[in-house]
Structure 1
Amino acid sequence: MTVVMTTPAFAQEAAEASAGDIIVTARRMDERLQDVPISITVYNPEQLAARNIVNSTDLATYTPSLTVNGRYGPDKSSFAIRGFSQDLNTAPSVAVYFAEATAPRLSSNITSGNGAGVGQMMDLQNVQVLKGPQGTLFGRNTTGGAILLVPQKPTDRFEGNVEGTIGNYDQWRVQGVLNVPLSDSIRFRVAVDRNKRDGYIRNRSGVGPSTFNDIDYWAARASLVIDLTPDLENYAIFSWAKSDTNGYMGKYAYCNRGTVAGSDGNIGTALTSRAANCTELDRQTAARYGYYDVANNNQNSFVKNETWQAINTTTWRASDEITVKNIFSYGKAKESYSFNLSGDAFLLPGDTVPRSFVITNPGPDGGQGDQWTLSEELQLQGHTAGDKLVWQVGGYLEHSAPNKQQTQYTAILSNCVNQADVWAFRCSALGNISIAHNNYFYKNYGLYAQATFKLTEQFAITGGIRNTWDRVRVEADNIQVIRNAATGVLTYRCARAAQPAGGATAAVLTNGACGIGRSFQTRSSKPTWLINLDFKPDPDTLLYAKYARGYRGGSVNEANLQFEAWQPEYVDSFELGAKTSFNSGDVRGNLNFAAFLNKFKDQQVSVFIPQCLPLTNANGVPNTGGRATCTAPAPTGINGIQNVGRSELKGVEVDGSLMIGDSWRFDLGYAYLDAKVVQGGGTVTNCNNAAFNCDQASGFAKGTILPFAPKNRVTLTATYTLPLSEEVGKVSFGATFTHTDKQFSNHGNDRAFAQGAIPYNASIAPATDLLNLNFNWNSIAGSGVDLAVFATNVTGEKYWVASSNGLASSGAEWILLGAPRMYGMRVKIHFGS
């Protein structure tokens, strides 16, 4: 097995076409990669295995221009391409497709990947990362790009394999594939994957799990191809995955020591926990906590996910020139989680049990997310003789709704020791329990057409247009339960809406009073388009120029009074590219280049607006930071999405391969990205200054660098294959080096750092230099046995991937740590053909 770069250049090595070219479906039809005028990164199965790519976080580690938002841990990471990221409850900026069907939606109370889950890297034909707006041919229009997961299709050969992996952190993994031709016209394939590994974050509190950031999942897939007639094929896939981990845990980075008056984390409600967090940080330092050591206080920490999806694709070759294709999908996704949202565990005066600022919990009767999704797409594809005109038209429909009530119990400043205490409101008097009942309903429709016309044998022009209709509706019922410090009496009130008739009583828990008038919806209908000009001076060279309009629909963040809905965002994308390949005897290779400019407007940005404080509290004690004009303080601050600002995202991408003889291969991938706000969004509309500190809204200012947009990223791979006979087998050694510049995960710590209130800015994830090594011996002694030894992050670099953005609300900050050195060994046994 050869280890290569994660770039389009890998195509030359994949055995996916008789000529050695890789075939991609980036334009919804089979095409040679080097002929597609799109910037694409492609992985084949060997490359996925060589890098030990198991989930979305692993995929982004080695792909230029692709990053992930890992704030909520690897199970809930979301993709970002070229600086287009996903925040809170926004739709993904990068769409994920499996077997050409959109992934099931999952809308809970924190960011979710919506399709980049566990078990999906199993038994794949390839993974295609499409960069830039893909709003013509793909549903759920997105601004960043698309990731296409293409499973291995059943073949006409009896074959299969069994693979076992062992590694450090007590990892063990077993995979198996069986392919059976049931008849000349029926083919069946099944694959299973069981993966388990301890976490690398060590819990030293003795409460709850002993480690975090672990892996523990089952996955299975079955597929069936039936040739109903020589021209009519039915392809059915059923996939299922279930994960049950301890979740993630943040590590204390620093606290605001209170030396700068008025700085973030040193005013308002953050004063309650700031000093206690500093004390706990000092305790952990004195106790010599290691880099991967944390202290958990949530007895029931877990993240559980389960997804299944059935996809049926019918392809009818109506004639030599026309093909009809129908893709139907139905799936369900659900999740339930309980974890400390930051990573804190501190004692306030009089406490005997540590508390946290925020711990999330599922409701007693259901989890935070439980959604079904149905999609239907009808395509009509055609071409004329000689492919002078190639065209396609289609329609897309998607509906998604809850399977049942989606509920989250959030313990704020709580010392509850388990979920039963949370559900029974047996928590400390200081904090409160917030109960959120949120149900999300989606309806999406699209009509599209695209055609490529050859002006000459060298020039071609492509044009496409799509119109999308999006509707999002959310039903919300948000309640707060507060315990009186002196009497223990509970007060029930609506968290965001006006108080219900009858007062703050337990009735709001059952009569839906907090949900009256709390159903919101947004509608949008916008066109997107594509214009592309290709020039092929020779069969091995492609030059192209492209303009595309991208669009991401609006949605609802029901928890924020006055700021419930936001509108669509748009991007105008301009790209110039070149793809070349060469073959000069023993020296072969290719070089691809793309330069792009994205003009981004009406950005969907997470905006935090703190609630205001009156001059004095209820006991007449002066409030730090209070003001006379704060006459109706909100119970909590606003933390939701607003359409603010304009940005420009520009850069270049280069990838190439060089193969010398049959032994040496060198691969390069490089991405440069400059993603900045050009028109600030520091103010918001409809803000009630009597309830909030509207002037402290955290919208992006002009010059702000967008999150998850490192300026430089480079990946280098060298592979040497020993010149051995087939009787010995194929033996190779590979090394991959990846450098990623520093990048913002958020901007929540910028102001405090500029004021000198904190020692460094944890919102900036540091630059990383990661080295991976592997050894592969395929067909050992001519047998059907393969052996692989791998190691990732060989140098043991310590780094973090995101921060919790908790400074302003709790007076301290936590970081999410990247994976340490991992190593292991795989043995794969092939059988059959």
Structure 2
Amino acid sequence: MKIAYRPMHGWVKLALLAGTMLAPATAMAQDADGEIVVTAQKREQKLQDIGLSVTAIGGAMLDSVGRQDVTALAAQVPGLQVAQYSPTITVFNIRGVSQNDFADSQEAPIAFYNDEVYVSALGAISGQMFDLERVEILRGPQGTLFGRNATGGLVQTITKRPTRELEGYAQLTVGSYGQIATEGALSGPLSERVRARLSFTSDRHGGYIENRVGRDIGNARFYGGRLQIEADVGDSGTLLVKLQGLRNDHETSGGLYSHVAAGFDADGLGFKLGPNEDFWGTCGGCDAFGYKEPDKDPFTGSFDRIGFFDRKYWSATVRYEQDFGGAKLTSITDYQDLRKRFGEDSDMSPVHIFHYDTAQDLYQLSQELRLSGDTDRFTWLAGIYGLKIRTDNDYQIDAVPVLGLLENYGGRQKTDSVALFGQVEYKATDQISLTVGGRYSWDRKTYDFAHAENGVQDFVFNRTTNPGLAKQTFKNWSGKVQVDYRPTDDVLLYAGVNRGTKSGGFGVQAFTPIDPTTLPYDQEVLTNYEAGFKLTLLDRKVTFNGAVFHYDYKDYQAFTLQGLSQIVANVPARVTGVETELVLRPVRGLMLSGFLTYLDTKVKGITLPSGRVADREMPQAPKWSIGGMARYAFPAGPGELALQTDWKYDDALYFSTFNAPIDREPSRIVGNARISWTSDDDHWTLAAFANNLTDKKYRIYNLDLGASFGFANQAYARPRWFGGSVGYNF
């Protein structure tokens, strides 16, 4: 179903953790000594003091990527990949772990958090990266403190909070394809004990994919806002109320695909047809319907229908913190509401062969209550978490003109979840500490699904028709045991075992006959054996971090496309990898960073369309990724000029668990450049940037429909994007 435009990436993002950590001082949350501070364990800690593989990217560094939204993280973070099928769905991949099912009802094994609030909807992620303090990316299972859907890690955005002094900023960006984007905030006191912060963002640009037979596609019409009010309660309490809204206004960003004709091999796996290869007997280089692209430009096409994307998302969060002296109480209550509509020209031709549409109405309610404290030897945390999700999802495949088929399917999925969690860190000596944590989760999911073809209902799946299948209960535990050894203040060694889980769920199938037993899938369990080091050397001029890890995956939720139906099956898998990151500050103003990541992945027992069972590589998991950044800042007039460039190499990878020939993306090198000037008083900032500097054409996703329609939906990364910005801070 989602035939699609999927931005090509499969890359273990070894990206410049180091580099990002050394961005300008204002880029990171820092303590009084200038060290980076993160909340990866739900308390403030120095980044180099945590026995976790963590990257923190600050607001100034986020600005420097040229407003590429959340997908820009992929070029900045080791082990991370980001796939966006237009803004409708965002899928993170960390160390090869992800689930590529594009059904709106699915949750991902890489969790997304905003200010410690879990965002379950994949369609609610894009657009949230404005007015941020930082973004934290945690690699490896994080289920003990963050929950059952952080199997492979998580991405968390931390927004800037209201300030006690009046401050603010405004930034205007102009770029390619008529881009005009804004971001800003106004923050300060309303009274002696109450303060507020109002933030805004917008992004508008024209379509960057030329449509030969109609309106160009790929434009943006997005805007968002956030209001936060924070008040002191008594002598040691704080109450924060946050309201946030995002809007995509009928963008032409649905189905940003490039057509390629395909055949299929003996296993039913697609391969690209040559320009004169007449696989279907229609014409040389043509798909099953006799169409082929007249040129090789992935940014031109012939779309008889203009794809669209509409979204309204809002959330309300109430956070209360009370310090009792020896313990601290934190309560986080959150409500989210999402209304999303999406449509595309799935066949990418001037003839209406088939179109695909989705509609989602979702609400989510969550509550976390925790108590934490510390003594000379112990740091502890314990809490309870509750989550309720209701999502109504409707899908349509309109293939009436040529195939005479109209498929309508979908329904309601309900999720209720409760968890108890806790973690204790014991400092046995000045050099050795032991961390033990655990979480028990109880999930109940119910599914009410129906399918109709040409207006006639032919399949119903619910608790009445399938009582043993349509209601599923999942009980599981996450746990962590780790030893940290710090022989000196500048050296940290750690080793541990960490178990994470992801709840089971239900698949979405588009065509009958449907076997009811194939709709539910079981929970997955990932056990991570990891050891690492963090070194700070030469008077903090060198930072060198690394980790080696092995994932033992039980019941990995492998997504495959069987015909045109989305199937999730539980199979064993494993991942073994190495990450290293190096940051150098040899002289004042100069920062150099480099990184290297290696992944060896295997998914076992994948049933191919032919029925043959084979082992495969995990999708979007290149064996090697190598990259680096250079930034040099020096005085220039009444301010400072900074020159910056970053480059990244990703090895070849596959976009699907099938590892079809057409799903293989060759290795690539992609780079960006930026020049900026900041006044001595830090009030004014001017910048110019070029993203994808060499205009590299590479896919970020591919959907193989070779055996079904004789083509594949290819999604390419945006072409080279120039821009400039001006900002004022006060």
**Do they superpose with TM above 0.5?**
yes
1:63 equivalent to 2:50? Answer no
Q: Distance in 1 between matches of 2:267 and 2:709?
A: 14
**One-letter amino acid of the structure 2 residue matched with residue 411 of structure 1:** D
Cα distance 1:249–1:436, how it changes in 2: closer, same or farther (>3 A)?
same
The answer on whether the counterparts of 1:154 and 1:188 sit within 8 Å (CA) in structure 2 is yes
* 3-state SS of 1:86 partner: coil
Map of 1:131 onto structure 2? 139
User: Residues 261-300 of structure 1 correspond to what in structure 2 (within 5 A)?
Assistant: 275=282, 278-279=285-286, 287-288=294-295, 290-299=297-306
The equivalent residue for 2:167 is 159
Question: Which sits farther off after the overlay, 556-565 or 372-381?
Answer: 556-565
Per the alignment, residue 76 of structure 1 pairs with 89
Q: Which residue among 357, 361, 366 is the counterpart of 2:357?
A: 361
CA RMSD between the two structures: 2.7
**Structure 2 CA distance for aligned equivalents of residues 808 and 517 of structure 1:** 32
What residue in structure 2 maps to residue 596 of structure 1? 549
Per-residue deviation, 1:437: 3.6
| Amino acid in the other structure paired with 1:34 | Q
SS in 2 for 1:776: strand
- Contact 1:800–1:818, Cα closer than 8 Å, also in 2: yes
From 643, 667, 683, the equivalent of 1:767 is 667
In structure 2, the CA distance between the partners of 1:653 and 1:493, relative to structure 1 (3 Å rule), is: same
1:145 corresponds to 2:100: no
Q: C-alpha distance in 1, partners of 2:145/2:506?
A: 26
SS in 2 for 1:16: coil
Please tell me whether the aligned partners of residues 87 and 126 of structure 2 are also in contact (alpha carbons under 8 angstroms).
no
Question: What's the CA shift for 1:73?
Answer: 3.0
Unaligned runs of 5+ in 2: 1-13, 272-277
Shift of 1:468: 0.5
CA distance in 2, matches of 1:564, 1:250: 28
> What is aligned with 1:31?
45
SS of 2:685's partner is strand
1:474 pairs with 437, 444, 447, which one?
447
For 2:256, give the aligned amino acid: M
1:450 is matched with 423
- Is the Cα–Cα contact under 8 Å of residues 249 and 294 in structure 1 kept in the other structure? no
Alignment pair present for 1:815 and 2:710: no
Matched, 1:533 2:538: no
CA contact (8 A) 1:580 1:592 kept: yes
Which has the higher mean CA deviation after the structures are superposed, 663-672 or 556-565? 556-565
1:335 aligns with 340
Alpha-carbon contact 2:560-2:657 (below 8 Å) kept = no
Q: Could you list the runs of 5+ residues in structure 1 that have no partner in the other structure?
A: 107-112, 347-353, 363-367, 416-427, 482-491, 499-511, 611-636, 684-694, 751-760
Provide closer, same or farther for how the CA distance between residues 698 and 442 of structure 1 changes in structure 2, counting only shifts above 3 A. farther
Alpha-carbon distance in 2 for matches of 1:130, 1:467: 21
Alpha-carbon separation, structure 2, partners of 1:558 and 1:769 = 36
After TM superposition, list the pairs within 5 Å mapping 1:487-506 onto structure 2: 492-497=455-460
In structure 2, the CA distance between the partners of 1:470 and 1:53, relative to structure 1 (3 Å rule), is farther
From the superposition, tell whether residues 77 and 276 of structure 1 become closer, same or farther in structure 2 (CA, over 3 Å): farther
Counterpart of 2:348 in structure 1 is 344
The one-letter code sitting in structure 2 at the alignment partner of 1:643 is: N
State whether structure 2 residue 274 is matched by structure 1 residue 305: no
User: Residue 640 of structure 1 is aligned with which of 567, 573, 592?
Assistant: 567
Partner of 1:799: 698
In structure 2, the partner of 1:524 is: 474
1:682 Cα offset (Å): 2.7
Aligned mate of 1:221, from 218, 226, 249: 226
CA contact (8 A) 1:45 1:123 kept: yes
What SS does the corresponding residue of 2:144 show, helix, strand or coil? Answer: coil
Contact 1:68 1:78 in 2 (8 A): yes
Are residues 459 and 9 of structure 1, via their aligned partners in 2, closer, same or farther at CA, if it must alter by over 3 Å? farther
What is the CA–CA distance in structure 1 between the aligned matches of 2:374 and 2:270, rounded to whole Å? 63
2: CA distance between counterparts of 1:30 and 1:666? 27
Deviation at 1:175, TM superposition (A): 1.6
Report the equivalent of 1:696: 610
Helix, strand or coil for the counterpart of 2:107? Answer: coil
Letter of the 1:444 counterpart: S
The amino acid of 2:662's aligned partner reads: A
2:118 is equivalent to residue 102 of structure 1: yes
Aligned pair partner of 2:538 in 574, 583, 586: 583
- Structure 1 counterpart of 2:630, one-letter code: A
Cα deviation, residue 262, structure 1: 8.6
Whichever residue aligns with residue 717 of structure 2, its letter is G
- Return 668-677 or 461-470, whichever deviates more: 668-677
Amino acid in structure 2 at the alignment position of 1:398: L
Residue 808 of structure 1 aligns to a residue whose secondary structure is: helix
CA distance in 1, matches of 2:258, 2:599: 29
| Cα offsets for 1:251-272 (capped at 9, x unmatched) | 122322x8x7896579xxxx99
Aligned residue in 2 for 1:116: 125
Secondary structure in structure 2 of the residue aligned to 1:174: strand
User: Compared with structure 1, are the counterparts of its residues 390 and 277 closer, same or farther at alpha carbon in structure 2 (3 Å cutoff)?
Assistant: farther
> Which is strand-richer, 1 or 2?
2
Measure the CA separation in 1 of the matches of 2:283 and 2:476. 50
Residue 723 of structure 2 corresponds to 824
What residue in structure 1 maps to residue 598 of structure 2?
672
- Residues 24 and 33, structure 1, Cα contact 8 Å, conserved in 2: yes
Amino acid in the other structure paired with 1:592: N
1:737 touches 1:772 (CA, 8 Å); kept in 2? yes
Tell me what 2:370 maps to: 379
Partner residue, 1:737: 647
Deviates more, 1:50-59 or 1:545-554: 50-59
Deviation, 1:400, is 1.2
Counting matched residue pairs gives 696
Structure 1 CA distance, aligned partners of 2:501 and 2:541?
40
Take 2:372 and 2:360, find their aligned partners in 1: how far apart are those partners?
37
CA distance in 2, matches of 1:583, 1:177: 39
TM-aligned CA deviation for residue 680 of structure 1: 1.8
SS in 2 for 1:217: strand
Secondary structure class of the residue paired with 2:73: helix
SS state at 1:603 partner: strand
One-letter amino acid of the counterpart of residue 85, structure 1: S
Q: Does 1:7 align with 2:12?
A: no
Contact 2:99 2:558 in 1 (8 A): no
Q: Does the CA contact (< 8 Å) of 2:695 and 2:720 recur in 1?
A: yes
* Alpha-carbon distance change, 5 to 641 in structure 1, aligned in 2, over 3 angstroms: closer
How do 1:601-612 residues align onto structure 2 when only pairs under 5 Å count? 601-609=554-562
Q: Which has the larger radius of gyration?
A: 1
SS at match of 1:154: coil
- Of 359, 377, 394, the residue aligned with 1:407 is 394
Q: Does the 8 Å CA contact 1:42/1:126 hold for their aligned counterparts? A: yes
Show the counterpart of 1:778.
678
Distance 1:53 1:532, change over 3 A: farther
Return the match for 2:65 from 51, 61, 70.
51
